[in-house]
Structure 1
Amino acid sequence: MIDARPALPTRTQVLIIGAGPAGSAAARWLARAGLDVVMADQHPLGRDKICGDGLIPDAHKALERLGLLERVMARAQRSGHVRCVGPRGGSIDVPGHLAVLPRKQLDEILNLGAQEAGARFLSPARFEAPLEDAQGRVRGARFLIDGQAHEIEADWVLLATGAVPKALTAAGMCERHTPSGVALRGYVHAPSLVDEIKALEVVWCKPVQPGYGWIFPAPDGHFNIGVGVTDSHRDLAGKGQKKDVNLRAIFDAFIGYHPLAKRLMAEGQLVGDLKGAPLRCTLKGARWTRPGLLVVGEAAGSTYSFTGEGIGKAMETGLLAAEAILAHRQEDAAVRAAYEEGLRSLQPKYDLYERGNRVNAFPWLADLLIWRARKSPRLLNRMSGVLNETSNPGNLVSVKGLARLFLE
């Protein structure tokens, strides 16, 4: 019997391990510039990914740069607001350009967009270890494919394997094995609530402290509902220790606390199982580069700790890596320096969002912000700026910022 499958690639200019938003964005950018690119992933096209699925303005900008925004928005559920709900039940609608599209569909669009540009997609291919030359420079990777070892050589390797640390550890890039936070989400089909839940609803309350619950309207009468807990692991001398966090119990407590979540679960039908996942935040927990290799996306900690948003920033890091390679090609040190400089330029913003994370730790701050924003158009505009990355989230909850709340 003749095997009709194409021959496995053994050589490429850029090998990208992981075909999520970061990997696919880099692949499309590089392939459109004429480079030979191979994306390898252990999961097939259209795999599921545990995520809130919210696309905020930074994701829109990255998708627009990639030329894929219209395709995504044609399938996404659009929304014009984030509804912030405080522990006492008060709420405020913060305007923004927003949408929701399940990651299974979003990642498929991004992956096919990379293939459309000329990148080759290899799956299922499980990353085992980097290939190194005599000087220790990464020159490719070894995979397990159909139970057999297979090697692919490359000028550059991008590691875009997400929050699970196994691949980072295998590549010698992991500095913190435990995550920054954890999340649990499910999909609920509830057509009866489509006209009632139009905003991306974020709820701060004691049962989810330090973190928040959410209900996001998705396409076709579905809703993404979940809880996220920040700072879920202690970092003890580089070795994390899990705190006493039972995500399912927290999710159940959120459902019992928030009336709309209770209605959603009562009137709708859960589609599939509730699923949990780790989060890696604040551009920390992994080395960014080594000779021949760049770490991108959530593997590099691209998720914001305050909002839990990571899709847009994952794509942005992938584009930064691609631009560094295109600008310097064979100059290893220059590529690494350019990419690291790009990440450093983002670091202050991550630090500010880490300061904003105080709202998750102290939910009463959400009550205070909502109370004042309902009376102050200027404060509401500043909160909208946090979504659009034009306002400093840390200033909202600093001592000076809190004092200003009573003057606006």
Structure 2
Amino acid sequence: MSPPALPESCDVLVVGAGPAGSACATALARAGRDVVLVDAQAFPRDKVCGDGLIPDAHRALQRLGLAGEVMAAARSARHVGCIGPRGGRIDVPGRLAVLPRRMLDDIVKRGAERSGACFFAPWRFEAPLEDGGRVIGARLKQGDQRRALHARWTVLATGAVPQALLAAGMCERQTPSGIALRGYVHNPAMRGRIEALEVVWHKRLRKGYGWIFPCPDDTFNVGVGLAHSHAKGSDGHATMADVNLREMFAAFAEVYAPARELLAGGTWLGAMKGAPLRCSLDGAKLARPGLLVTGEAAGSTYAFTGEGIGKALETGLLAADALLADDIDDALMARYQTSIAALKPRFDLYERANRVNDHPWLADLLIWRANHSPRILRRMEGVLEETGNPGHLVSLRGLTKLFLPIP
């Protein structure tokens, strides 16, 4: 039996079946909209990511009705372990889990299909269809085959690679905000040794960090990330910082003993892979008549931590909320832009918290004080739960308080 053919039209075309696109498609299909969800790759497929699910992701998955299915497959954790350059450590409690994106994204995509969205892959977005300046669908490509699919609205959830944004006239910054490199290592001997989501700062990892996150089946996601990897020079053009991620990863293994032990006694599952990050709700236009941009294409990753799954899900749901309001173009676009703008202050605070990546000694100070002050540990837990302000911890006032006598 041959697979169903791509239709000629639908209410909403969602391009990209990662967390943002699938969340958007799920909410729309549940509300009775005729939704077509396409992706450039067949599923399941790999995605470079730290794979960590922090509280905002848990909340979004609960709204989608997928939390139980995800947690049944994931590795649960109780803490984020923050490790400073001098070896100090603080375990920040939280609702946490780790599930490789190959599995997570497939669960969320299948949730969209169960809700009534029709999924087609591999179909790549080539260009928008337009009528009088309004987007009325998209030209899609599969090998040598091209199809036009008309839609009342199109949602781009195409991730950090900017080609679709460029084709749609929505890209304001081609270069990424950051870059990351990760791989999977199987090592049963580390069972019980690494139970938390471990994040490591060190002067040899300056402007970035290393991580080890425990996955199911004695496998560990291990990698390094670099914030602000592309900065504008005097000529106005953004260029990549003079950093070799593989050398940075080697330095991580040298300075952090658990990483060294993990790699020495483990087996690599495939090659290490790198990927760009688009952060801080920056670098793309959010809307034009007939089209919305969501997820990491809109910059939904936090700059300080590199966490993006939860906010990708959240922004995808906000896109669906706007579309379900059935407003005229201008009102619908304003509704969506306002909902994303409401998130922007928190992203800006994570930009401020990036000082820890720029100045790793701040991690030592925060960790030392948190180990001696339940109040500061509660504030760090609040940052994880999004009830606290990450920027306050490293603001001038916040730093001054850290130097005051411990209450």
Deviation of 1:330 (Å): 5.1
Letter in 1 for 2:187: A
Deviation of 1:146 (Å): 3.6
CA distance in 2, matches of 1:169, 1:239: 17
Matched with 2:248 is 250
Where does 1:5-404 land on structure 2 (aligned, <5 Å)? 5-133=3-131, 135-236=132-233, 239-327=237-325, 329=326, 331-404=328-401
Structure 2: state its 5+ residue gaps.
none
CA distance in 2, matches of 1:119, 1:184: 33
Structure 1: state its 5+ residue gaps.
none
State the percentage of identical aligned residues. Answer: 61
CA distance in 1, matches of 2:160, 2:236: 16
SS for the counterpart of 1:302 is coil
CA contact (8 A) 1:179 1:233 kept: yes
CA distance in 1, matches of 2:187, 2:88: 24
Deviation of 1:238 (Å): 6.3
For residues 208-252 of structure 1, the C-alpha deviation after alignment (integer angstroms, 9 at most, x for no partner) is 110110000000100000000001101357642111121111111
CA contact (8 A) 1:177 1:239 kept: no
CA contact (8 A) 1:49 1:104 kept: yes
For residues 172-215 of structure 1, the C-alpha deviation after alignment (integer angstroms, 9 at most, x for no partner) is 11100000000000000011111111000000011211011000
Moved more, 168-177 or 142-151: 142-151
Moved over 4 A (4+): none
CA distance in 1, matches of 2:3, 2:215: 37
CA distance in 1, matches of 2:324, 2:348: 29
Give me the CA root mean square deviation: 1.0
SS for the counterpart of 2:372 is coil
With the length of structure 1 as denominator, give the TM-score of the two structures: 0.98
With the length of structure 2 as denominator, give the TM-score of the two structures: 0.98
CA distance in 2, matches of 1:388, 1:258: 27
CA distance in 2, matches of 1:51, 1:383: 23
Instruction: Tell me the matched-pair count.
Output: 404
